[in-house]
A and B are shown apart, each in its own frame.
Chain A
Amino acid sequence: MENLLLIFTDYTIRNVLLGAIVLGLVSGTLSAFAVLRKASLLGDTMSHAALPGVIIAFLITGVRAPLPLLIGALIAGLLGTLFMSLITSTTRIKQDSAQGVILAVFFGFGMALLSWVIRQPGSEHAGLDRFLFGQAAATVESDVITMAGIGGIALLLIALFWKEFKLITFDAQYARTIGLPVGLLDVLVTTLIVIAVVVGLQMVGVVLMSAMIAAPGAAARQWTNRLGVMVILSAVFGAVAGAAGALISSSAANVPTGPVIVLAITVIVIVSLLFAPNRGILWSLRRTKSVLAPSPVEPNAQAHVVGSARPKGVYEP
């Protein structure tokens, strides 16, 4: 109870909590699209690829202001995706290897740059390594405002281009025939995912940010068959995990925020996989007793059940 009161009185805890919720909302929303685009690991790649961008932005501007660093991260992340698609489209190297190369090489380059920057005289570079490991406790009000501003723009764009994003995610080819600039919209979605990643980086760090892109969408998918509901649920799951992480870590000594956020979202995933109606494992175990277990991911799995009942109004020979 005492800790709950601290939320309203303690400046640091309030910022951490608000930051974690914003992070969860934004990454949760984008996670839904990442999962549907089969790009769950994009968060992993992008969070690593962002590092050199952060350092170079720092070298150019000379200050550790959040916005320029985030823009640097964004540019590096997008360059990474560009290289990735260059590699997969021109060679026989597959997506996983291309992702791995980009992830490790960009991050390695960032590490080399960072070690050089840290050895320079002066103290402006202090705290740059937050972008590697994340340091939720160091979140200040200006960080929260920047995160909320950038995240808000991302969410607004999704709301605005909802129908277009839905169509290119489901059937890009058809989208092209009705005249949508599919390539451009693809870049926009990827940019939004990268934005979600870089917004969260300084709170939870590189490794754990990847979970925030992979997990909320995977959990939300289990509960619903509607895209709108899935995206909202995904955002809520992200926010709940963020809040839980911030509260738990502020109420106990020596508990880092980022890992707790990740464990919270992992618990949500496990619960969803087990108990979600229809798709949940327990549900299909119950059903197995009567019918053969349907498998949600495999298309047409229920063809033999559903297809046998002929709908009304169909031409019968």
Chain B
Amino acid sequence: MTQSQIEIQVVAALVAAACAIPGVFLVLRRSALISDAISHTVLLGIVIGFMLLGDIENPLLIVFAAGAGVLTVTLSELLLKTRRVREDAAIGLVFPALFSIAVIIITQNFGSIHIDVDAVLLGELAFAPFNRVDIIGSSLPRGVVVMGIILIANLIAVAVFYKELKLATFDAGLAAALGFSPALIHYGLMTSVSVTAVGAFDHVGSILVIALMIAPPAAAYLLTDRLARMIAYSALIGIAAAISGYWIARALNVNISGAMATMTGIFFVAALMFAPERGLIAQVIRRKRRGERFAVEMLLVHLRRHEGTSDEETENTLGHLTDELNWSPRYAHQTVKRAQRNGYVQLVSDALRLTDQGRTMASTLLAVR
């Protein structure tokens, strides 16, 4: 690996980890799409900041961009407060408008300068090593410094306010009752989303910011119930997606951010399929097991109900199960086999009879719980 390759990966990993932290709370608070809105509207902040400061490298730009992010959230909430539109519409109305203003300002004033709408959406990580700053005598890529600072700030914020964030996320009412202001926590989180988005989109583009803020936390949400672990898993998944995405992009000669975003999707699908408790495969296996047990129970209850009645001879036969319980002949056969193995029923030619054990079981099932 060359030094620039290492540097690109370090920047990407820092972005991934920094995005994971606010991302977890966005996903848990059901406002994931705020990241979509904010990562677009920070452009307006940067444009306005650039007009006022006249310098695209000025660190103060981040303040303007974060301000635009918070403005997006504030406007959406203001719109929501009118109670004339719903939450989804409120977000959908605000950010395209702010983004449009930014695009118009750009095309009007600086057609060809560095701020470029394509770059906002797509980003270009390959340039990361060329933009360097000197810190204590050593030359580092700007991205490493900026994202390193943002990551540390996010880590400190989450460490200091962990309890409050947790409470406000899972029980806003209780948090308010205990004297933590949910609004303060909310805006704190939105500031973190904005600052992270600004720092990151310069390097990776807004789409990868959204991907890294939502997909790894969503995947982690399927893997654990513990908040701290969810944050850690999200960061690790994000980093893994970023680094694997980088090498795939190199191998296939495609856009790096695009490949990384694709990888977050692959990791998400992997979690969706294979997560031990909540994954689709685990669900299918569990349902099949429960379904088999339940089928035997249904069989016992059915036999018990018709036992000793005038219609027992027709109802309690293997052939009748397919009609009565909507089972395929094969499934009916398997279920009867299973019930026989457990000693619940006997099959006498075609007629099904409950054993004593089966009868007790059926009565237990039918007792009111």
Which residues of A line the B interface, CB within 8 A? 35, 38-41, 43-44, 48, 87, 90-101, 103-116, 119, 129, 132-133, 206-208, 210-211, 213-215, 217-218, 221-222, 254-256, 258-260, 262-263, 266, 269, 273, 279, 281, 295-298
Contacts and interface: CB of A to CB of B under 8 A. Distances in A.
Contact of A297 (B31, B86, B211): B86
Contacts of A35: 86, 89
Interface in B1-60: 27, 30-33, 35-36, 40
Contacts of A210: 92, 96
A269 B90 CA distance: 11
12 contacts: A40-B92, A41-B89, A104-B211, A108-B262, A108-B265, A109-B258, A111-B122, A111-B255, A112-B249, A133-B121, A262-B100, A273-B79
A214 B92 contact: yes
A44 B96 CA distance: 10
A116 B92 contact: no
B331 to A, nearest CB: 23
B93 A269 contact: yes
A114 B255 contact: yes
A110 B205 CA distance: 14
A99 B33 contact: yes
B95 to A, nearest CB: 8
Interface in B83-126: 83-86, 88-89, 91-93, 95-97, 99-101, 103-104, 107-108, 111, 117-118, 121-122
Given A210-B96, A211-B92, A273-B79, 18 more contacts: A90-B272, A91-B278, A92-B221, A92-B222, A95-B30, A97-B32, A100-B214, A100-B218, A104-B265, A105-B268, A108-B259, A111-B258, A115-B254, A133-B121, A210-B92, A214-B88, A259-B99, A273-B82
Given A108-B208, A112-B249, A112-B259, A255 B93 contact: no
Given A38-B88, A41-B33, A90-B283, A104 B215 contact: yes
Contacts of A218: 84-85, 89, 93
Most buried by A among B97, B108, B213, B280: B97
Interface residues of B toward A: which range?
Answer: 35 or more
Interface of B: 27, 30-33, 35-36, 40, 79, 82-86, 88-89, 91-93, 95-97, 99-101, 103-104, 107-108, 111, 117-118, 121-122, 207-208, 210-211, 213-215, 217-218, 221-222, 249, 252-255, 257-262, 264-265, 268, 272, 278, 280, 283
Given A40-B86, A91-B278, A116 B253 contact: yes
Given A218-B85, A296-B84, A113 B254 contact: yes
Contacts of A39: 88
A263 B89 CA distance: 16
Contacts of A297: 83-86
Instruction: Provide the main secondary structure of the chain A interface.
Output: helix
B264 A110 contact: no
Contacts of B88: 38-41, 214
A13 to B, nearest CB: 18
B13 to A, nearest CB: 17
Contacts of A95: 30
Most buried by B among A43, A92, A103: A103
Contact of B92 (A108, A215, A260): A215
Contacts of A214: 88-89, 92-93, 96
B122 A133 contact: no
Contact of A296 (B27, B32, B83): B83
A41 B94 CA distance: 12
A27 B41 CA distance: 23
B97 A266 contact: yes
A260 B252 CA distance: 38
Nearest to B117: A133
Nearest to A115: B255
A106 B261 CA distance: 8
A93 B216 CA distance: 12
A60 B96 CA distance: 32
Most buried by A among B101, B215, B254: B254
A259 B103 contact: yes
A221 B89 CA distance: 12
A109 B214 contact: no
A101 B214 contact: yes
Nearest to A93: B218
A256 B79 CA distance: 27
A115 B210 CA distance: 19
A104 B261 contact: yes
Contacts of A119: 253
Nearest to B84: A273
B257 A207 contact: no
Given A108-B211, A296-B84, A207 B96 contact: yes
Nearest to B111: A254
A189 B263 CA distance: 31
B360 to A, nearest CB: 37
